[in-house]
A and B are shown apart, each in its own frame.
Chain A
Amino acid sequence: MKLEELRFGTELLKRGFASMQKGGVIMDVVNAEQAMIAEETGAVAVMALERVPADIRKAGGVARMADPEIVMSIIDAVSIPVMGKVRIGHFVEAQVLEYLGVDMIDESEVLTPADEQYHIDKTKFKVPFVCGARNLGEGLRRINEGAAMIRTKGEAGTGNIVEAVRHMRAIMGEIRMLKGMDTQEQIDFSRDIEAPAELVIECARMGRLPVVNFSAGGIATPSDAALMMQLGADGVFVGSGIFKSSQPKVMAKAIVEAVNNFDNPEKIAKASRGLGDAMPGLDIHTLPEDQVLQYRGR
């Protein structure tokens, strides 16, 4: 490489960007005003959306990428990174967000999938992607397609942490299991979970996913956020949990505080006092199967 020759959009730059988010809270916002509140309360990045997941559930119909006008107004309002969601497999929505200057794209099951067979070939983009996963196999398939960050799918818009816990435990548990296997067993296991063998072996060697692993989908309180951190998350996405609570600013600060002190009950207790009402929750078991978002994309 020649001196001062620049290379853009490399794997290292994408994964490096994701590393910079570690220990942080990424907040869903739907306008510039919310984005500024998120930045002021200590978010490391914002996710620019037309509606938060709880409202996407209520609205029904096809959920798509946000209006570029909303995305641009949020990009102009804050100096922290701005992320945006596209439908699974909808690479043109991703091209549009990349053009707009979004810093990371979430290929998200929260929106209605555009392709039931294939995810986006994320290696074709200069901007990094984050994708949801329910288990190790799903996470490694996304990494193989070029994802620079994995997040648990959880069950978005429910304010119920149970699915995020299930998914984080699945990923971390499978990695722990791998460490006790020899290489042949790991290769065999990679066939069971339909993931590339080399990525499975890499996970076993590192004792973790080869990219940053966040938690998302149902975080509604500071304790929820700290729970996911203690289970091994590198950071959290909070969707409806902040701006669907009765005092968004106070809740946002409290969740940032809890993530920063995730192993300190005294600080979590202090952060949790007098927050008003958390978002109203949904019992996952009462959801009809076609409204369960995590089954979208495998």
Chain B
Amino acid sequence: MGIRIGVLALQGAFSEHIDAFKLALQVLDPPGHSSVIPVRHADEIPDLHGLAIPGGESTTISRLIDKNQMRRPIEEFEGGIFATCAGMVLMATEVDDSRIRTLGLIEMNVERNAFGRQRESFETDLVINGFDTPYHAIFIRAPVVTSCGPRVEIISKIEKGIVAVRKDRHYAIAFHPELSTDPRIHIRFIQGLGV
């Protein structure tokens, strides 16, 4: 058997994550037949090793998670979750917007659209703990983590705040590793799944 990864395909940049995971699996080449699938139904979640929650609109995705009865299966998911941008907002225990029901899977406070509007979106080279060269990161109307619990590992931080964290098998990333051609973060997530 191989590694089974699902990408939550309710709204947002899910096909980019599917491509990025396929590239990462190609590089890693784990034994067995690995697969990356779009996830649109709650019953597909428990069978996965890893689940990605992509960027998109956190208000919309949070509504659709409830509408599709996915909240419980995600909260009870035993594998790792890879959450980017809107996904990071959903993973938090606290967010600066009461309309969003978060999943609360990582103890952290998140500020939405922390850098401003789309004209303030940016690309930059980031230092990421554990990587020997900078990572080219794409921030689009990105959130930041303003504070996090003691058991949350900070992977990357810039002046504005924390932009990447890990808690056990879960990763939450403020930027979009699925939009760059560098698969290192996806690879690190897969390696941490313990499959």
- Complex contacts, B81 vs chain A, CB 8 Å: none
Q: Which of A1, A3, A17, A39 contacts B121 (CB 8 A)?
A: A17
Neighbouring B residues of A23 by C-beta, 8 Å: 9-12, 14, 56
Q: Kindly state whether residue A110 has any CB partner on chain B within 8 Å.
A: no
Task: Check B57 for interface membership: any CB of A closer than 8 A.
Answer: yes
Interface digits, A77-97 against B, CB 8 Å rule (1 contact, 0 not)? 001110000000000000000
**Partner-contacting stretch, out of A42-50, A158-166, A193-201, A290-298:** A42-50
Check if B168 is an interface residue, CB within 8 A of chain A.
no
A22 to B92, CA, bound (A): 23
Q: Is the CB of B11 within 8 A of A22?
A: yes
CB distance from A78 to the nearest CB of B (A): 9
In whole angstroms, what is the CA distance A13 to B136 when docked?
12
B127 at the interface (CB under 8 A from A): yes
Q: Cβ of B56 and Cβ of A81 under 8 Å apart?
A: no
Do the beta carbons of B138 and A13 come within 8 Å of each other?
A: yes
Q: Would A22 and B59 be within 8 Å (CB), given that A81-B118, A98-B119, A104-B118 are in contact?
A: no
Contact-size category for A: 35 or more
On chain B, the number of residues with a Cβ less than 8 Å from chain A's Cβ atoms is 44
- Per the bound structure, the CA–CA distance linking A6 and B141 in Å amounts to 14
Q: Across the interface, which residues of B come within 8 angstroms of A126, CB to CB?
A: 119
CA distance A128 to B14 in the complex (A): 20
A58 at the interface (CB under 8 A from B): no
How many Å lie between the Cα of A179 and that of B100 in the bound state?
A: 43
In the complex the two chains form, what is the Cα distance from A26 to B16 in whole Å?
21
A16–B85 alpha-carbon span in the complex (Å): 12
B168 to chain A, nearest CB (A): 27
**Would you call B179 an interface residue if the criterion is a C-beta within 8 Å of the partner chain's C-beta atoms?**
yes
**Contact call A7/B13, Cβ cutoff below 8 A:** no
Q: State whether the Cβ of B24 lies closer than 8 Å to any Cβ in chain A.
A: no
B63 adjacent to chain A (CB < 8 Å): yes
B 117-135 to A, binary, CB cutoff 8 A, 1 in contact else 0: 1111111111100000010
- Name the B residues within 8 Å of A232 (CB-CB): none
CA distance in complex: A150, B116 (Å): 25
Closest to B180 in A: A12
Is the beta-carbon distance between A9 and B119 smaller than 8 angstroms? yes
**Distance (Å) between the CB of A226 and the closest chain B CB?**
14
Of B13, B59, B136, which one neighbours A20 at CB under 8 angstroms? B13
Greatest chain B CB density within 10 A among A5, A23, A39 is at A23
Chain A hits for B159, CB < 8 A = 4
Is the C-beta of A146 less than 8 angstroms from some C-beta in chain B? no
Contact A6 B124 (CB under 8 A): yes
Taking CB atoms, residues of chain B closer than 8 Å to A79 are: 59, 97, 112-113
| B 179-193 binary contact with A (CB < 8 Å = 1; else 0) | 100000000000000
Chain B residues, Cβ within 8 Å of A210:
none
Residue A144 at the B interface, CB < 8 A? no
Q: Among residues 70 to 129 in chain B, which have CB atoms less than 8 Å away from a CB atom of chain A?
A: 85-86, 97, 99, 112-113, 116-127
Q: Are B122 and A20 in contact (CB under 8 A)?
A: no
Using known A-B contacts A17-B140, A17-B141, determine if residue A3 contacts B125 with beta carbons closer than 8 Å. Answer: yes
Contact (A7, B123) CB under 8 Å given A20-B85, A22-B12, A24-B11: yes
With both beta carbons as reference points, the residue of chain B lying nearest to A45 in the complex is identified as B57
CB-CB under 8 A from A103, the residues of chain B are 117-119, 141
Q: Is the CB of B117 within 8 A of A22?
A: no
Tell me if A2 is interfacial: C-beta within 8 Å of chain B.
yes
- Cα of A8 to Cα of B14 in the assembled complex, Å: 24
- Structural contact, A127 and B118, CB atoms closer than 8 A: yes
Interface residues of B in 22-71 (CB under 8 A from A): 55-57, 59-60, 63-64, 67-68
| 17 pairs from A and B in contact (CB 8 Å cutoff) | A4-B158, A6-B122, A16-B121, A17-B140, A19-B55, A20-B12, A20-B140, A24-B11, A39-B59, A44-B11, A79-B113, A80-B59, A81-B117, A98-B119, A101-B119, A102-B117, A127-B119
Interface of B toward A, CB cutoff 8 Å: 9-16, 55-57, 59-60, 63-64, 67-68, 85-86, 97, 99, 112-113, 116-127, 134, 136, 138, 140-141, 158-159, 176, 179
Query: Lowest 5 CB-CB distances: which A-B pairs, in order?
Result: A103-B118, A23-B11, A6-B122, A19-B13, A44-B57
Contact residues of A with B, CB < 8 Å?
A: 1-10, 12-13, 16-17, 19-24, 39-40, 42-45, 79-81, 98, 101-104, 126-128, 256-257, 260
Given A6-B123, A21-B57, A80-B59, list of 4 further CB < 8 A pairs? A39-B59, A45-B57, A103-B119, A260-B68
